[in-house]
């Protein structure tokens, strides 16, 4: 979940790169990101920063979901 992404950002960055590859190079725009087990507002903010720094931004074709 969010804790793992925050504490292992290198692994999360690889996952985000895979999402970018599928969306941008293969053209599958129906792939979104759901982050499980977000426990605090701080975790949400940190995950959003990691996602943004990887070049993924919320839009009408990319949803960032958290639970």
List the chain pLDDT tens, one digit each, 67 residues. 999 999 999 999 999 999 999 999 999 999 999 999 999 999 999 999 999 999 999 999 999 999 9
Gap between the Cα atoms of 20 and 27, Å rounded:
10
Per-residue pLDDT, 3: 97
In sequence order, what are the residues at sequence separation of 6 or more whose Cβ sits closer than 8 angstroms to the Cβ of residue 45?
A: none
* Containing structural domain, residue 62: 2-66
Beta-bridge partner residues of 34: 65
Alpha-carbon dihedral sign for residues 48, 49, 53, 58: positive
pTM of the model: 0.91
Q: Encoding tokens for residue 35?
A: 């982050």
Total domains, the chain: 1
Per-residue pLDDT, 57: 95
Q: Give 60: exposed, middle or buried? Use CB within 10 Å, 0-12, 13-18, 19+.
A: exposed
């Amino acid at each position: 979940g969010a804790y793992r992404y925050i504490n292992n950002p290198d692994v999360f960055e690889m996952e985000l790169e895979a999402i970018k590859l599928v969306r941008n190079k293969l053209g599958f725009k129906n792939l979104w990101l759901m982050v499980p087990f977000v426990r605090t507002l701080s975790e949400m903010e940190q995950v959003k920063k990691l996602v943004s720094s990887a070049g993924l931004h919320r839009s009408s074709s990319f949803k960032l979901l958290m639970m």
